[in-house]
Every structure is written in C-alpha cells, then in structure tokens.
Amino acid sequence: MDTDTPDLSAIRQAMAKTNELFNTEVFGNRNFAALDQIYTKDARILPPGRPMFSGRPEIKGFWFDIIRSFNAKSAVLTSLDVMPAGEGLVEIGKALLTAEPSGQPEVQWDMKYVVFWKQEDGQWKWHVDIWNMSV
C-alpha cells in the first residue's frame, strides 16, 4: 500500500467498504437490498456448480437462496491484488465463508475470487464476480 498513488489508496478504501458491506449487511443482517450498493445494475455472477446469473434481480435471488439454505453467517473478503483496468479494476481475493447448517456444527469454506469492478453513480461496485473453492 505504501507505493500506492493517493488515488488508488482512496479507491482501495472504497473497495474495502463495499466488500465489508457484503459481509456485514448481506451475510450478517440478511439485508439483500444492500446488494444494490455492491453490484452494478447489469452485473454478472458466475458461481461454482451453477449457471451464470445476470442483473441484480437474479443475483439477489441467488444470494437469498444460498444464505438461507446454508444458514450462512459471514463472508470475510480479503484483497490479494488490485490491477488498474481502464475505468475499472480487476481484483484477486480470497474469501472465508462461515455457515451453520441446521443441526450441524459450524462449517467454513476457503474460496478465491476475481472481481471486475466498475464505478456506478460514483460508487465502486462488482461488475463481474466469479469464485471457486480453494481446496
């Protein structure tokens, strides 16, 4: 971070805020309206074992189903690299998902992801989001 230009440093803070919103609001509080602040209007997600989902209504449906069916509790995202990409950014990161499926002990999954970020209405959001398991 020391070698970041001030601009990139500010962008990283904005990105961290979006990533934290996903953890605390979507997973923690099950506030699915917060996904409007996280994904661009025409975002696409590519989840493992599923087809691609396009646009916020489909994306909201996906997370609603996943979080409820696994009783997911948190999704802690950690940026590993951020690459400038014109008006966007490409981020490589890792995610730790924690869930408490009914009648089972807590489970955790190590995932990794790539997100293509874009600005929408002045906010940095996920435009393309793909992930998979790390083990």
Q: Among candidates 86, 75, 84, 39, which has minimal Cα distance to 58? A: 39
User: Which residue in the set 9, 69, 78, 132 belongs to the binding site for a second copy (CB under 8 A)?
Assistant: 132
Binding residues for a second copy restricted to 108-127, rule: CB under 8 A:
112-114, 116, 127
Residue indicated by tokens 């730790």? 96
Instruction: State the nearest-atom distance from the C-beta of 33 to a second copy, in Å.
Output: 26
> Nearer Cβ to a second copy, position 47 or 55?
47
> Nearer Cβ to a second copy, position 32 or 116?
116
Residues 6+ apart with CB under 8 A from 61: 53
C-beta of residue 12 within 8 angstroms of C-beta of residue 6: no
Alpha-helical regions (H) of the chain: 6-21, 35-38, 56-69
- Tokens describing residue 36: 């409007």
Write the interaction track for a second copy spanning residues 21-60; mark x where CB under 8 A is met and - where it is not.
-----------------------x-xxxxxxx--------
Binding residues for a second copy restricted to 2-21, rule: CB under 8 A:
none
Binding site for a second copy (CB under 8 A): 44, 46-52, 80, 83-88, 90, 92, 112-114, 116, 127-128, 130-135
